[in-house]
Amino acid sequence: MKIIKTEYHQVNSEFTYDIPDEDIIEKFGSIERFQEIVTHMGSEWDEKIGEPPTDEEYDLFVEFFEDYNYNRYDDWWTDSKGGYDVTFEINDDNETDDDYDSDQEVLH
């Protein structure tokens, strides 16, 4: 009999970009304006600096990061601290191992 255990987690993903100042100045006019826009893209509780981005600046900001590589850190905080939901089910006879993504981690 095959049993499927599913864990439902929450993860915080942090992306770190290293963008040359020259690229920022070329797209946004100045480092200062870019920093102002960044503060308006954070949490509503964060302190804002300067004017909010225009619609054009907002779109440019979001698209700007597509051209750069990043380092990614995932904090699966529910895995390390607990507090996630778990379900179990009996594998239906119609399902095979081929029905699952090959990217899924398999533990034997």
- Specify if 61 maps to a domain: yes
Indicate the pairing of strand 12-17 with strand 3-8. unpaired
Q: Which residues contact 17 (CB under 8 A, 6 or more apart)?
A: 65, 68, 69, 70
pLDDT at 95 exceeding the cut of 90: no
- Specify if 39 maps to a domain: yes
- HSE-CB for 44 with a 13 A CA cutoff: 0
- Specify if 15 maps to a domain: yes
pTM of the shown model: 0.67
- Specify if 106 maps to a domain: no
Q: Which residues contact 79 (CB under 8 A, 6 or more apart)?
A: 7, 9
Mean of the pLDDT values across residues 23-39? 96
Question: Per residue in 77-94, pLDDT tens?
Answer: 888 888 889 899 999 866
| pLDDT at res. 20 | 97
Domain span including residue 95: 3-99
Number of domains making up the chain: 1
- Specify if 105 maps to a domain: no
- Specify if 107 maps to a domain: no
Question: Per residue in 37-69, pLDDT tens?
Answer: 999 998 888 889 999 999 999 999 999 999 999
